[in-house]
Amino acid sequence: MDQTTLIINRVLPILLLIALGSGIRRTRLLSETTVDELRKIVVYLALPAVLFTSFLSITLEPRYLVLFVVVFALCVGLLALGGVLRRVLRIDHPYFPFLITGFEYGMLGVSLFGSAYGLENVGYIAVVDLGHETFIWFVFLALLLVRRDGLTRPAELAASFVRSPVIIAIVSGIAFNLLGMREFLTTSAITGGVLNTMQFLSSMTVPLILIIVGYSIRLDRQNLRDAALTVGVRLLIIIPLLVVLNAVVINGMLGLDMPFQAALFTLMILPPPFIVPLYMPSAMTDERQYVNTVLTLSTVVTVMLFVIYFIANPAL
């Protein structure tokens, strides 16, 4: 298979599945309620299966701790910068800082990276994402709750963290990996069957997520100008940072190869976290529409950038 054919065969399914999701919404083949239920299958079953098997199988190295710290610090820095830019640019949107930081890893990063480079390679972006997940659960979500409720809720945050299927999958996968139980779990009668079941669930992840993403793409013209400004500012900050981090940290300091460079690129071009509107006050209708428009526009831009990147880098 020549390179052009390989690229087309990897990129086309991404675009077709997103288009299929949009078509399903336009033809009303599935209702919003049904799509929300499909999203639950992804969050509670398919995505945790991918993450558990990825962390179980990948080789963990001490230098990944540096990557963890760098990504966490990057997310914190972007949040602080978002607050500064809101004042400097006089942006009349209180949730602007939350849209400058964070990356929608679960509902988009895994599907893009996995569909292009193979689900067997998702472990690379999962490792890069660890610092980001810690930021989302312990900083980002906490500040969202503070803005919504005016006070912190440590118990609610702790409970959300402990109950999260994604976090349970990541922690369990890392724990079994470090205990050297990968071969035992794979070859034993019962656990081997469970892992094979997880493989079946994993195969659902990419098509389901991309269909859901396509279904959710809706641009509100009223907020399009402000949304475009937000997405533009975010990219103007992140793209140069991405170039520096890949050169200085990934390739230079840590000596990591192409899979980690592709993983970092994929993570950092992702839209802001899709959870932002879920933790906004119900009365903030206009601000919610602005946030949703930013997320939609950023998703479209992400897919375009990822396709261009994959065309230039079709192999890990």
The DSSP-derived string for 72-130 is: HHHHHHHHHHHHHHHHHTT---TTTGGGTS---IIIIIHHHHHHHH-GGGHHHHHHHHH
Q: 238: Cβ–Cβ under 8 A, 6 or more apart, which residues? A: 78, 268, 269
pLDDT tens figures, 10-46: 899 999 999 999 999 999 999 999 999 999 999 999 9
Distance between CA atoms of residues 41 and 165, nearest Å: 11
Closest CA to 206 of 137, 290, 109: 109
What is the per-residue pLDDT across 208-238, written as a single tens digit (0 to 9) for each? 999 999 999 888 888 899 999 999 999 999 9
Of 66, 81, 175, the residue nearest 130 (C-alpha): 66
pLDDT (mean) for 244-271: 95
What pTM, to 2 d.p., does this model score? 0.91
Domain ranges of the chain: 39-206+222-311
Q: What is the pLDDT of residue 126?
A: 94
Render pLDDT for 117-138 as a digit per residue (tens, 0 to 9): 998 999 999 999 999 999 998 8
Quick: pLDDT tens for 187-210: 998 999 999 999 999 999 999 999
**Residues 179-188, mean pLDDT to the nearest whole number:** 92
